[in-house]
Amino acid sequence: MKQAVSRWMAVAWLVGAASASALAQQAPNNPPRDDERELRAALADWRDASNVGDWRRAASHYAHGALIEFPGRPDYTYEEMQRNASRPPTVTWRHDFQIVEVFVEGALAVMRVDFTSEQKQADGSWKPGESIETLQVWRLQPDGRWRITRTLSGKLP
């Protein structure tokens, strides 16, 4: 638990530092963006893509160098995600989420999201999987798309 709190604090510090930098770089004549709407739509597209097994599309929502941490599993890197995106899935999952909070500051955003998952069984039924609380750090990329750079997760009771 202490390690998880330290990670969250480190992310909060990074968000603050990057936000100050992003604000300093923002051009004054650019039209306003609806960043929260774009972030919510990107996460919904990730869910929709992963639910139909389109891992290439799901992986497109992650930035180069992204790192995903799940409890009790080795860290999952952007490079691994790209390699696995072209392989046929060995297990069929169905994901859903509830966005708890969105914080956007300049070119950096943090989303707190509760995910649920189900695994398809041989008989076609769905077995409930884990419920995970996630903190996602998103960065606005040079191509104008928001992409996930870090994901820190913990199991919900």
Distances from the Cα of 116 to the Cαs of 6, 51, 81, 133, in angstroms?
A: 25, 12, 20, 9
Cα–Cα distance, 103 to 30 (Å, whole number)? 20
Cα–Cα distance, 23 to 16 (Å, whole number)? 11
CA nearest neighbour of 70 among 104, 115, 31, 21: 115
What are the chain's domains? 2-26+33-155 (3.10.450.50)
Q: What is the pLDDT along the chain (157 residues), one digit of tens a residue?
A: 445 545 554 455 455 544 444 444 444 555 567 999 999 999 999 999 988 888 889 999 999 999 999 878 888 888 888 888 877 766 688 889 999 999 999 999 999 999 998 888 888 888 998 788 999 999 999 999 999 999 999 876 6
Report the DSSP pairing between strands 108-120 and 126-140: antiparallel
Q: What is the pLDDT of residue 22?
A: 47
CA nearest neighbour of 48 among 60, 57, 39: 57
Q: What is the pLDDT of residue 54?
A: 87
Q: What is the pLDDT of residue 8?
A: 52
Could you tell me if residue 11 is left (phi over 0), alpha (psi between -120 and 50 degrees) or otherwise beta? alpha
